[in-house]
Structure 1
Amino acid sequence: MPQRRAVTGRSQEPRQRFAEELRLLRTEKGVSLKDLADRLGWDASLFGKMENGHTLGGPEVVQALDQYFGTAGMLLVLWELAVADPSQFKERYRRYMSLEAEATSLWHYAVANLPGVLQTPEYARELLASSGLTGTELDVQVEARMGRRALLLADAAPQFRTILSEMVLRTPLGSPEAWRAQLEHLCAVSQRPNITIHVLPWSAGLHGLTNADTMFLRGPNGQTVAWIETGYSGELVKETAAVDRLQLLYDRVRDLALSPHKSRQLIGRLLEEAPCDPSI
């Protein structure tokens, strides 16, 4: 394994540190971007963007780089730090992001928007843009959100259950094709053994979680905490009695929701009904 370099100056920033390490490792090995692309099968431009800090890439390419350079997982660790860098998120999400990354299981309820871990890039971009983000900041936030999707796609991914209010599925994107791609993505991930999707129909009426997105995170120590978000603020609930009350509300909402099978059927029907882009 190459000698570890001291972390100084700008390299203390996780994103910059990751890009710097990639450049130095490739330079030390004496290979070009094209050589790297030919050997690993990804486009040379991707490696160039990663070395320039314009993109972080995905976990698969980082694992391939770790193997190629013989860095025993060091690059993947740096990538994870860069993806979870709190500077890419509002300060109030810092602790939540840490708990999400460590969770062994997650239970979620969505009022109006899909959870970030199930969003396509197009969905994330339109949603984040609607909150006022633009330009480079928007690109960084979309990329960071896409990095969070890897949480559910890894080999040892945690169990994830979400209950989607029907409103979530009745609020399409501006682009018909992007909306179809999002519905197709939901159909695909619902087949994964670690992901369960329920739909709560409008006919269920009012319930205890009507006004707030809710996420329960079970940590490796067996403790469960809850994150409650209204869209304008978020609160981490750790007190056992409060978490228990919220879980009781969640269980009641789950009782009102469609089964995973019927939920997949509903998403499939919405996909069939979704309009196609007339320009295609």
Structure 2
Amino acid sequence: MPPRRAITGRSQEPRQRFAEELRLLRSQRRESLRQLGAALGWDWSLFGKMESGQTIGSPEVAEALDQHYGTPGLLLTLWELAAGDPTQFRERYRRYMALEAEALSLWHYAVSVLPGLLQTEGYAHALLSAGGIMGEELTRQVEARIGRRELLDGDDAPRFRAILSEAALRTPLEDTNEWRKQLEHLLDMGERRNVMIQVVRQEVGLHALTNTHTMFLRLPDGRTVAWVETGYSGELVQETAATERLQLSYDLVRDLALSPVESRKFVKQMLEEVPCDPPI
């Protein structure tokens, strides 16, 4: 492993530091972007964008670069810091929201919570408050989330496919009335001509998106971009090769999912299992 370098004079902003380290390591190897792309199997333009700070790529790319440069763990750690920087998260999310408003179609996979476009006010309130948001900020974020549902309204609304992990439906709200409203809302939304809801049963086991919330946006110019999110950070993926790999994973998960008809029956079964309030 190369000797540890002093950080004096280096950027302390996580995203910039990550890009600086990538440029320095490639310079020390005297390697071109095209040579790097050929060696690792990714499009060389991805590495150019990472070195310029336009994107941080994925953790898989960071791990591959660590192996290539002989810096085990260094680049992955810097990637995690860059991905977790709240300022960069807000900037990326604003860009995602702008693209979402333009999208002709959207495809989503939900790991453990229902997608925002399908949430009721009660569900959004419970989810956001569980994350520590309170007071006026909680009210503002709930209103903003519910307002986003207008995206699916109207004759020219985009097509929306939501694939839900069974885990998202096995995690109810504490308030059974609100949970019942949420399940009824899913059934109502599934009747719309532009909305398709499918469920992936737990019995299918591990799959390509087991721990990855993902939204794909098909844009008017023909491009497809993806928003990949964990509970603490999100990444806007715009590189063609990376997006295509994610789409392949999504297609594999869709093949494992129940059909829309069977999924509707499953949600109805979940609704029937919600305890009824005792008579007053």
Length-normalised TM-score, structure 2? 0.67
Give SS of 1:161's match: strand
In the TM superposition, what is the alpha-carbon distance from 1:279 to its structure 2 partner? 6.2
- C-alpha contact (below 8 Å) 1:101/1:151 kept by paired residues: yes
Partner of 2:105: 105
Give SS of 1:133's match: coil
In the TM superposition, what is the alpha-carbon distance from 1:233 to its structure 2 partner? 0.6
Following the alignment from structure 2 to structure 1, what is the Cα–Cα distance between the partners of residues 222 and 204?
32
Partner of 1:150: 150
Query: How many pairs align?
Result: 193
1:114 pairs with 2:114: yes
In the TM superposition, what is the alpha-carbon distance from 1:153 to its structure 2 partner? 1.7
Partner of 2:252: 252
Superposed CA RMSD in Å reads: 1.5
Following the alignment from structure 2 to structure 1, what is the Cα–Cα distance between the partners of residues 234 and 225?
13
Following the alignment from structure 2 to structure 1, what is the Cα–Cα distance between the partners of residues 279 and 121?
21
Following the alignment from structure 2 to structure 1, what is the Cα–Cα distance between the partners of residues 108 and 151?
15
- Following TM superposition, the consecutive aligned residue runs of length 4 or more in structure 1 with deviations greater than 3 angstroms are 89-92
Unaligned runs of 5+ in 1: 1-88
1:206 pairs with 2:184: no
Label 1:273 to 1:105 Cα distance change in 2 as closer, same or farther (>3 A). Answer: same
- C-alpha contact (below 8 Å) 2:110/2:168 kept by paired residues: yes
Label 1:96 to 1:279 Cα distance change in 2 as closer, same or farther (>3 A). Answer: farther
Following the alignment from structure 1 to structure 2, what is the Cα–Cα distance between the partners of residues 279 and 173?
20
| Cα shift readout 1:84-141 (whole Å, capped 9, x = no counterpart) | xxxxx94441011111111000000000010000000000000000111111100000
Partner of 1:277: 277
- C-alpha contact (below 8 Å) 1:175/1:277 kept by paired residues: no
| Cα shift readout 1:130-184 (whole Å, capped 9, x = no counterpart) | 1111111000000000100010122211000011000000000010000000000
**Mapping for residues 136-175 of structure 1, pairs under 5 Å:** 136-175=136-175
Partner of 2:197: 197
Following the alignment from structure 1 to structure 2, what is the Cα–Cα distance between the partners of residues 279 and 136?
35
Letter in 2 for 1:244: E
| Cα shift readout 1:35-59 (whole Å, capped 9, x = no counterpart) | xxxxxxxxxxxxxxxxxxxxxxxxx
Partner of 1:96: 96
Give SS of 2:180's match: helix
**Mapping for residues 18-97 of structure 1, pairs under 5 Å:** 90-97=90-97
Following the alignment from structure 1 to structure 2, what is the Cα–Cα distance between the partners of residues 163 and 115?
9
Give SS of 1:136's match: helix
Following the alignment from structure 1 to structure 2, what is the Cα–Cα distance between the partners of residues 267 and 95?
33
Length-normalised TM-score, structure 1? 0.67
Unaligned runs of 5+ in 2: 1-88
